[in-house]
Structure 1
Amino acid sequence: MLQNSIKEGNLYFYGCNVQELAQKYGTPLYVISEDCIRNKCKELKESFIEKYPNTKAFYASKAFLTLEMCKIMKEEGMGIDVVSGGELFVAIRAGIDPKDIMFHGNNKTTAELKMAIEYSVGRIVVDSLDELQVLDDLANEANKVVDILFRITPNIDCNTHKYISTGQKDSKFGIPLDDEIIKEAITIATTSTNINFRGIHFHVGSQLFDNSSHLKAIENAIRLMKKLKNDLDIEIEELNVGGGFGIKYLESDKPKSLSYFIDAIMEAIKKNTYENGLKMPKIFIEPGRWMVGEAGITLYTVGTIKDIPGVRTYVSIDGGLPDNPRTALYTAKYQAYLANKMDNERNKTVTIAGKCCESGDILIWDLMVPHSIERGDILSVMSTGAYNYSMASNYNKIPKPAVVMIKDGQERIIVRRESYEDLISMDVI
């Protein structure tokens, strides 16, 4: 977890002195390692794309999306998975080939669908019968043929937080596997002159530490593929199995390697398609958190320290809920260190409190820190690369932090810090 680690009592992150970054760019500060991201891409290629033919990876950009991130993904040969018109706009503006874009979302607006059709994105992942009809009409108006996948709910409950579990039948995402619903959707798609039905997609959930949910979902998906071949004489060309591969947030976490998931997934697909007399489809995956989660840290400056004898010690920082809502939303847990006192024994339990006027703005309830913790120390929260910057808000009118990217021990700004003027730039009086 302490990549490149400790020199003279200071935390280094991929070659950069964390305290010096905080002093130079201010806090709160998001720090992202380009080296880590590219290493993940290398692992992904070796474990999946180069190892198994007829495969492609799409980065789930909702985890962390900037123009620079798109540039890196393009250079690494990855596709981009987007879930809104805004994410689609960023990907296009960054120069991503529209054919390398997978457009998701449970409630794509008419404007977003028109945008996707206009750009000729590679795949639109249709989430419902309602969306299918709207898309068909829009494609007809534009005189275009759109390639689609259907997102199905594979009826799988996985061992993760309910807010990031998406494969169960009772879900806002996807088309249920009930015969009458999925068959109607596929019949409409295959009889339309403006829809090209290519395959199916599922996503069982996120931050998973075992592959059992993926394997059960594959069995259900291929059972559907068999029924479609038998009942409608339709052979599925593409199968998108989503992502969800877990990462290390705490020192006690023991996430599995990517190959643990990929090898089991590919073997299960190969086995089940063969046993059911089906052709092996093209396989897509969509890692997001796995690509960027451990590539990021967030830096804060320690402020007020409040000791309540016999209760707890609150250590307040200059950020919190606005730059990381995951603790309030998911009760997410993080590991953190005093970046400028790494040689000091961690012998005091404190609660890390955010600065918002909100009782629930607690970043870490019980964190071991040196007894010498004091105002001005730099707190480094680890594994914040995914769903921190992308979920940030201006609650309490707090400006969003800057994003610094580091490569080969050198840093550069890729997103500037918001100013107070930015907070009112869209106001009209």
Structure 2
Amino acid sequence: MSFSHQFATTPTGHLMLGGCDALTLARKYGTPLIVYDVDQLEAAVSQFTQTLAASGLTSAVCYASKAFSCIAIYQLMARLGCHVDVVSGGELYTALQAHFPPERICFHGNNKTKAELEFAITKHVGTIVIDNFHEINLLKQVLTNQNATVNVMLRVTPGVQAHTHRYITTGQTDSKFGFDLASGQATTALQWILACPRMNFIGVHAHIGSQIFVPDGFITEINRLCTLIAQWARNFAVIPAVLDIGGGFGIQYTNDEHPVPVKTILQTITTTVKQSFKQAHLPLPALWVEPGRAIVGPAGTTLYTVGSEKHLPGRLPYVAVDGGMGDNIRPALYDAHYTALNAACPTAPAINRIRLVGKYCESGDVLVDDLRIAPLSAGDIVAIPVTGAYGYSMASNYNRNCRPAVVFAQRGHSQLVIRRESYSQLVINDLPYEGSN
């Protein structure tokens, strides 16, 4: 399927995002600009919730907010009935500033600090996902000091190798995340937790990676976790109420990628859970999933303004835009691929072949290395679709550039949800050097 078929256009042929003319949005808010189609966000969440509900399993959709975190997205997820997972004190603070219900927050992370755990317990976060033995001791201290209790899940590393980039695999045995299953670490961790009356053990969690296109890894993950839970039931008379299989559902960035539809993968997951737990003579758990990219990725489009060009004999011409690796590090970080469109004529024949690059002082600042696109000139607006995940959340001030603005668009209306940074904000934490005298 051609990517151009997924986009609506205005009567004048311009790219339309959330019912708004992309060129109008660029003029109104400036560029670089990340635009989220709110209807698309809502539809993505609905696909998860409805498919899980149809399975008959008790379930929860936990939005993995590391994909994109701001007050507005937490407000939307709260309204849609989601849980959220956070991986830092900053994400937790942002969710609470959005008045997200703390009981529906899961706190992840492989190196939570004592201060972060104290903050989470003080704010009555619903679940702490414990990642290592150090954290068990740290959390025990915090709970004792605050005379508190908390629900906990154990993050298990199930030894499943997801077919994705090595930087975004997380379920293999050699991983910085979670308790290893094969060596018995997970069972030892369970014993530590059961010995602490302030920790209410509610579930087991695993995450096998990101950009997963087929369900095979999930099937193996579920079967291994079910086997582990059956062992715990026999040896400790403990059966966790929640099975959290993580996220990692793949999305299509370019025409060359063909992930299995999320609905199909979810149906395979729910069928596997029911079959595995029935065969093990275990009660069905509540199934939690943690989509992040699959919700926000396709809904986001980044708009840039074209600037300079460079032409070399026998080489692809360089066409530079006013953003780049500072607002989308993924191509430089792990060779992620995107496509791009001329926002003034997104369905026009792609007769030009260029290398689309950013403005940052790095040769690796390449957004699309080999792009076929309609002709571009300085001042034109380029749109890169499917940039809603890990663009803004990984954005930086490299070269002292300001991070972009973010807009939510829905049915012809747009709203600024993150202001563009200003130069004065870049130096707000800088202090003058007063010398050694």
Q: With the length of structure 1 as denominator, give the TM-score of the two structures.
A: 0.97
In structure 2, the CA distance between the partners of 1:342 and 1:369, relative to structure 1 (3 Å rule), is same
Equivalence for 1:424: 427
1:110 pairs, out of 90, 105, 114, with 114
Compare 259-268 and 165-174 and name the one that shifted more: 259-268
Alignment length (residue pairs): 428
Equivalence for 1:125: 129
Structure 2 residue 98 is the aligned partner of structure 1 residue 94 = yes
Compare 115-124 and 46-55 and name the one that shifted more: 46-55
1:377 pairs, out of 376, 380, 386, with 380
**CA apart distance, 1:274:** 1.1
**CA apart distance, 1:52:** 2.7
**CA apart distance, 1:129:** 1.1
1:410 pairs, out of 405, 409, 413, with 413
Structure 2 residue 349 is the aligned partner of structure 1 residue 318 = no
Structure 2 residue 73 is the aligned partner of structure 1 residue 69 = yes
**CA apart distance, 1:345:** 2.1
- Asked if the contact 2:84/2:104 (under 8 Å) is kept, the reply is yes
1:360 pairs, out of 353, 358, 364, with 364
Structure 2 residue 231 is the aligned partner of structure 1 residue 227 = yes
Unaligned runs of 5+ in 2: 433-437
Alpha-carbon displacement from aligned partner over 1:46-99 (angstroms, at most 9, x marks no partner): 111354332111100111111111111111100111000000001111111110
- Asked if the contact 1:45/1:51 (under 8 Å) is kept, the reply is no
**CA apart distance, 1:149:** 0.3
2:262 pairs, out of 258, 261, 281, with 258
Rounded Cα–Cα distance in structure 2 between residues aligned with 1:93 and 1:270: 38
Rounded Cα–Cα distance in structure 1 between residues aligned with 2:347 and 2:185: 61
1:22 pairs, out of 4, 21, 26, with 26
Equivalence for 1:182: 186
**CA apart distance, 1:344:** 3.5
User: What is the identity, as a one-letter code, of the residue corresponding to 1:243?
Assistant: G
Q: What's the Cα RMSD here?
A: 1.3
Equivalence for 2:284: 280
Compare 46-55 and 221-230 and name the one that shifted more: 46-55
Equivalence for 2:41: 37
- Asked if the contact 2:331/2:337 (under 8 Å) is kept, the reply is yes
User: What is the identity, as a one-letter code, of the residue corresponding to 1:44?
Assistant: F
Equivalence for 1:399: 402
Rounded Cα–Cα distance in structure 2 between residues aligned with 1:50 and 1:151: 27
**CA apart distance, 1:427:** 1.1
**CA apart distance, 1:14:** 2.7
SS at match of 2:311: strand
Alpha-carbon displacement from aligned partner over 1:251-282 (angstroms, at most 9, x marks no partner): 23222222211111111111111111111111
Alpha-carbon displacement from aligned partner over 1:212-246 (angstroms, at most 9, x marks no partner): 00000111111111111122222121110111111
- Asked if the contact 1:299/1:380 (under 8 Å) is kept, the reply is yes
Equivalence for 2:389: 386
Alpha-carbon displacement from aligned partner over 1:314-365 (angstroms, at most 9, x marks no partner): 0011100100011111111111101113354211210011101111101110
Rounded Cα–Cα distance in structure 1 between residues aligned with 2:335 and 2:378: 26
Rounded Cα–Cα distance in structure 2 between residues aligned with 1:106 and 1:35: 34
Equivalence for 1:346: 350
Equivalence for 1:10: 14
Alpha-carbon displacement from aligned partner over 1:384-414 (angstroms, at most 9, x marks no partner): 0011011100000000111011011111111
User: What is the identity, as a one-letter code, of the residue corresponding to 1:216?
Assistant: T
**CA apart distance, 1:159:** 0.8
Equivalence for 2:435: none
Equivalence for 2:299: 295
In structure 2, the CA distance between the partners of 1:26 and 1:328, relative to structure 1 (3 Å rule), is same
User: What is the identity, as a one-letter code, of the residue corresponding to 1:218?
Assistant: I
- Asked if the contact 1:49/1:57 (under 8 Å) is kept, the reply is no
SS at match of 2:220: helix
Structure 2 residue 140 is the aligned partner of structure 1 residue 136 = yes
User: What is the identity, as a one-letter code, of the residue corresponding to 1:398?
Assistant: N
Compare 225-234 and 315-324 and name the one that shifted more: 225-234
User: What is the identity, as a one-letter code, of the residue corresponding to 1:410?
Assistant: H
In structure 2, the CA distance between the partners of 1:9 and 1:407, relative to structure 1 (3 Å rule), is closer
Rounded Cα–Cα distance in structure 1 between residues aligned with 2:264 and 2:409: 29
- Matched residues, percent identical? 39
Q: With the length of structure 2 as denominator, give the TM-score of the two structures.
A: 0.96
In structure 2, the CA distance between the partners of 1:8 and 1:264, relative to structure 1 (3 Å rule), is same
User: What is the identity, as a one-letter code, of the residue corresponding to 1:318?
Assistant: D
Alpha-carbon displacement from aligned partner over 1:161-202 (angstroms, at most 9, x marks no partner): 111111100101110013542222111111212111111000
Rounded Cα–Cα distance in structure 2 between residues aligned with 1:196 and 1:81: 18
